[in-house]
Amino acid sequence: MSPDPIERPVVRPRRLRTTPALRRAVAETSLEARQLILPVFVREGLSEPKPISSMPGVVQHTRSSLLAAASEAAELGLAGIMLFGIPEHKDAVGSAGVDPDGVLNRAVADVKAEVGDALPVMADLCLDEFTDHGHCGVLDAAGRVDNDATLEVYAEMARAQAAAGVDLVGPSGMMDGQVAVVRQALDGAGHTDVAVLAYSAKYASAFFGPFREAVDSSLQGDRRTYQQDPANGREGVREALLDVAEGADVVMVKPALAYLDVVRRVRDAVDVPVAAYNISGEYAMVEAAAANGWIDRDAAILETLVSIRRAGADLVLTYWAAEAASRLLR
């Protein structure tokens, strides 16, 4: 007796996967140059770019090499360039961060003069690169980060960056009320068109390690009293909602990969653009695995960035921004 014939499936999802062109046609998530922001480091006193050992392919820029990177970013149609400055001298209150002639404010002016309105120029608004203790704010007599005293410095930084020509400031220190203070400082100085990209849900992550080399961090202790606990998702949404209420034009989740659930929840909760930062440790893991021949580097980069977009990020800060955009344009 012959066996019963196998029932053939009527619904065949594989039909839409048969060719590359068909897969592109039905792709749910896009990855485009206009969604990618390039973070860059500029270090005072360098005569040539300095490689960052834990981030292969990333350097601390000189003023001139920074302009070349910015020009390339503009030509590629990136969503922006995020500047981080590394001064020659640090002090307890981060004076170089508010100095109009400090490395970061000079970099903003240089890049703005180079690219004009062809590329949004963004600047990190935080004290950790400028303080000799490495914290994101000024310390009180007991050695704790003083939230409200730090806000006064952030307001001064915002005015200095705006005067240099920045398009978006990125308050990243996770101080309570930072967005409201920055917005008020900008508006009070007549910089009403300068936007605020708020680091709203920034976690105390182990994946920040290579960044500390990138900015020559002098951190003493940790940042757990102001950055978020990795165990908390709802809190990330709460922080984002508070920042929107205080005037944030864009909110951000940082890091990205270990917090894709938070990206999704924030995207569902707010009505402003959402960014996510594909940070240094995430970058370094892919580069290290690829260097050992364990993964396909090019495929892993694009899959990583698509995953962040799929989770709900409108904008992705990534050290692969220029490389990925170049590949997408081919």
What is the per-residue DSSP string for 158-203?
HHHHHHHT-SEEEE-S--TTHHHHHHHHHHHTT-TT-EEEEEEEEB
The count of other CB atoms within 10 Å of the CB of residue 184 is: 16
Q: Which residue reads 């007796």 in tokens?
A: 1
β pairing state of 250-254 and 274-278: parallel
Q: What angle do CA 210, 301, 325 make, to 5 degrees?
A: 105
Task: Give which of 82, 70, 235, 278 is closest to 171, Cα–Cα.
Answer: 82
Residues acting as catalytic residues: 202, 254
Q: CA torsion sign, 329 to 58 to 296 to 34?
A: negative
Distance of CA 65 to the CA centre of its chain: 20
Pairing of strands 121-125, 80-86: parallel
> Can you name the residues that pair with 198 across neighbouring β-strands?
251
Residue written as tokens 């500390």? 212
Q: What is the DSSP annotation of 126-164?
A: -STTTBTT--SS-B-TTS-B-HHHHHHHHHHHHHHHHHH
Amino acid identity at 66: L
